[in-house]
Each structure stands twice: as C-alpha cells, then as structure tokens.
Chains A and B, each alone.
Chain A
C-alpha cells in the first residue's frame, strides 16, 4: 500500500487533511507552516502549486496563489519546498494540488519523477478528469506516487468509474462550485457519499467549504476524512505580515497552530 492510502486508513474517521499554498506568503514561512500543520495533528498535507488561472478555486485560494506567484513560486520551486519540508523532519504524506498546465510545461514524466525524488507522495490535478489522465496515471505508477481523484455530487454515473480508480484517498467535493468557505452542505451530500463509498477502494475525504470545527466533526462523525483549505489559507493570509517578518513569525505560527487545533478538537 502506498503512503497516502496507508496514512488515510490509519487515521480512520479522524482523517484530517489541510491545504496550504506553496510559497504563501514566502518559501521560508511555508516550510514553518508545513512543520506546524504536522505537529497539530494532520495526517496528509495538500500542497497547492500556484497558477495564474485556477479554474476550480474561489477567491481565498486565488489570492494566496497571487501572493505566492509574486514571491516567484513555481512548480520547480515547489519541488525545492517539498525537499526543505522533508529536511525539517516532516514525515506525513504530501500531495501536490497542481493544475495541468504547470505540469505540462515542466514535462509530465519529468515533473512526476522529480516529485517522487524530493519526497512528495501524490498528485491531485483538479482540471484532469479521468478521460484525460492516462499519461499522468502511468507516470505516477512508474514512480510509485498516488494520483488522487476528485468526485462531485454531479458525477452521477461517473462515480463508479472514478471511485474504482481512486488511489490514496478519494476527494469528495461537498458542494457544487469552487473551493471556498461555506455555511451549508449540499443537501444531497449524504446520498452522494454513501453511493461513492460503496464503489471506493480507498477512504473518502470530504472537502470544498469545510471551515469550522463543527463541520469537521460532522464529517468525521459520518466516518469520513475532512479536507480544510480556504479556512486555513485565509488564516495564513490574515497573518501574512507577521509570517514575513522572521521576528514575529514564531507567534504567527503559534496562531496557526491554535487555529488548526480548534478546527480538529
């Protein structure tokens, strides 16, 4: 069993997967944030690669992407970031959340091979449905990485195909739309998750719009993992100035720790 799936299974219904943007607000701060996210009890880390045209993302992650791009972050530098995070002793699996174009530009085979070398464990490519993912999937297998799939409430007849191909964990989109903070879950959520679970060989993790401790607990109580993206990224955005200043960074990292611990308490 590959590392992503193993971590997801071992976490059971406590599975917690935070998302952070590579290079937001800086390379060094991102390393510290990743270290803290593991210490706070995360089981898998989703690391976003900034992109100029992030179709699946809402405003919070778009802005984080812009901050990272302004810092000069690229896919190539994300590989260096993963290496730096590993050098600081982080052992939880890291999944790169990356749009297709930066990977195509780098070279699909080269990029996936490099990800494995620096210590990443998987890829999640939000604009790559299964119809288009042959090359990426083959490369991931060659380098023993997991290709994490997304499934949505609208997937309907597609659920079986997606779930049966799922690797690592299966990322279930909790509501229609882009990533972002929401108050309510789609009313079809339970039905959708049950149907998906019936076909899936790997644990389910629910994401898009999960932002509070209450919501995390609801998802965990249903027996699924929780992915929290925008809520954490927004907190990082609020702490941007303190994170950029090395003297105030330790306090900002403690603030992030408190925020994450509240989320999963």
Chain B
C-alpha cells in the first residue's frame, strides 16, 4: 500500500481503532488477517479486477465536460464516470471486493446495512452473482421512503429486515447489522458500505475503492490541479483521493452535506459541526449532543445522511491535506440541473454536492487548470425527489 495509514492499531492519526463489543473482536482479527492475505494474493486481485471489468463495467470513462466548463468559465472539469457502473454507483467496486473476500474466507452469508438502498442493492447484487445468502438491514422509515429499492433487493433474493430501533434510519440499520453480526460471527461476514466502522473496515473499503483514483490518474494527460468528491461516510472520496494523497501539488476538496444550512439543526456536516467521538466502532468526528448521544443528521441526499464520517477523513481534515466544505441541498440541486442541461448527465444527488463544490473551485481557477470530479453515481434514483423539489419551487414563483 502506498499510503502510510492506518498504523498497526488501525489508527489514522488520532482516529479509527476498534471500539466494538468483545464478541466481534476475534472476527475482526480474522477479517484483518484474511484481508491482508487476499490483498497480497495475485490470484485474488486478478479475480477482483476481472469481476470489476467483466461484471461491473470497468474501466469507467473519463469525460471532459466541455459545455459545463464553458458555462462555468474557469478550470477544465473532468468527470470520472462511476455513474456508468452496474447498479449505478461506485458502491459495486467495494461490494465485489468484500464478497470475493467472504468467499475466500469460507463464509456463506453476508449481512449489510443500507440507508436509501444503494449499498443494499449493490450487496444484494453481488450476493445473487456469487450465490451468497444475504440479509440487509434498513431503517423502517427508510423502507417506507424507498419502497422500490426494497423490492429491488428482494427481487435479487435478499432478505430486507426493518431496523425498528432508535430513529429507524441508517445509523440504526448499522447498529442492527452489527448486532446481527455479533450473534452470527461464525458463518456470516458484515459487508460494510463505506470507509467507516472498526478497523480493518475503513482500510478494506478504501482498498476496494481506490481503483477509482488509480484509473483516473492514468486517464488524465496531465496531473489534475484539484480533485473533488462528496462525503457521507466517504468511500468514493477515499476511492479517488488515495492515488493523489502524496501528490502535494494536487489540491483535494470534499463536499459534506449542509442540508438546510450548517447553522440550522438540519445538516449532515460531521466535520464542520461535529466533535470527536465513537460511532459504529471508530473514533471520528460525529454529530452528537452535549451528553454524547448521537443525533440525527439531515440531507436531501440519502447517501450523505450519516452522522459520522470515515476516520481517515477525520485525520485528513485535521492534518489539512483535504479541504472539507459544506454544500447545501439547494446548491446540490442547482448543480444537478446544470450538469443535466449542459452535459446530458443526470448525477446522483450525492455526486451533485461534489459538482457544486467543483463549480465553486473552477470559477477561482484558470482554463489551464484541470479539476477531476468523482461522479460517484447516477441520478435515476433521485428523479422523484428532484421533481418534487423543483416542482415546489415553480409553484412558488
């Protein structure tokens, strides 16, 4: 691995670690050993790369957004097209890697959490592809909001279990998935969807997503001046940043969700407004109240609606290697419309946050500068939300 983090204790500077019940510690140790063996095994890596190519649709194109660039009037904007992957987002890269690892470790069952359903669909997809038994925990409230994705996962053969504890959303689905895993560690692996959770998950997900940046680096003629991605947990951002972390002249920017604004109670800006604490097994920044209870985040984008952030991001923020800025619902919606109209590409609302930040940065740069943007997913899943939001606006005007 080219990056020096995490250390042997799974720490990224002060962050990360393994804050989990003793019951799963042995499973984490087994997973860590299995992961390191697999990453060093040329046959495993060959299988993984072939699956990415033949099944997921890699390598993804790098699109020069000429009309967008012209419209913005600044740096040239290049789009890394993870939206073109099977199941519609970068999530499949990681799901394939972890499913192949589960098989290599002799496990037959996978359990996962999902918020809006994207990671759940990716997990159910690889479970169908590789013949694994699959259980997906999803917040009971999210299941109501995302009925089509629930049906899609069931169609793929997964069992979707409503998480009825707490606030009945992503964080509770994650708690439930971990509780299930704690009770079934013998034959089940927990397939986590982002660079969050206890060590070695943030490392593993990064390693299975870094293909995004590794590929993009080879596709660009010149080194980019800036790389931009969105962060909820932060897997697509680690995926595209990792290849550039040591390139000091490349600026790295990440957009976290400001929701209705970081000065309101409705946002998901863990870095701008959070404090260090423990969530889902990792020490990182998270949204919490004065007594250390985790609070409910908000974003128009379900994929960014998470009260924590991956521990490596916490470290990259504290060390100032990556600049994290909050992008509001409205800025993301405007960016979504802009890309759709100028390039004929409907981005996911998550990716639209990154796009809004890229547009801001591009305006401060010159046409000789290049921006590499991770277009992490397509927006088909968001059409209904966007229609409602834009329809509302038209009625007001």
Contacts and interface: CB of A to CB of B under 8 A. Distances in A.
Interface of B: 9, 17-27, 165-166, 171-172, 175, 178-179, 182-186, 275-281, 288, 290-295
B27 A104 contact: no
A165 B278 CA distance: 24
A15 to B, nearest CB: 20
Interface in A130-172: 131-132, 149-152, 154-158, 162
A69 B172 CA distance: 16
B291 A155 contact: no
8 closest residue pairs by CB, A with B: A105-B292, A177-B183, A74-B291, A102-B292, A52-B293, A56-B21, A152-B23, A154-B26
27 contacts: A53-B175, A55-B179, A56-B179, A58-B179, A59-B165, A66-B166, A76-B291, A100-B19, A102-B293, A103-B292, A104-B292, A105-B288, A105-B292, A126-B22, A127-B21, A127-B278, A129-B18, A129-B19, A129-B22, A131-B18, A131-B25, A150-B21, A150-B22, A155-B25, A176-B183, A176-B186, A177-B182
Interface of A: 51-56, 58-59, 62, 66, 69, 74-76, 99-106, 126-129, 131-132, 149-152, 154-158, 162, 173, 176-178
A254 to B, nearest CB: 32
A52 B23 contact: no
A59 B163 CA distance: 11
Contacts of A54: 175
A64 B105 CA distance: 38
A102 to B, nearest CB: 4
Contacts of A132: 17-19
A151 B182 contact: no
Contacts of A103: 292
Nearest to A106: B292
Contacts of B294: 52-53, 101
Contacts of A100: 19, 278
Contacts of A176: 23, 182-186
B281 A53 contact: no
A151 to B, nearest CB: 6
A105 B290 contact: yes
Nearest to A152: B23
Residue in A58, A128, A132 whose Cβ sees the most chain B Cβ within 10 Å: A132
A152 B278 CA distance: 22
Contacts of B281: 55, 127
A51 B166 CA distance: 10
A65 to B, nearest CB: 9
A157 B293 CA distance: 34
A102 B19 CA distance: 13
Contacts of A51: 292-293
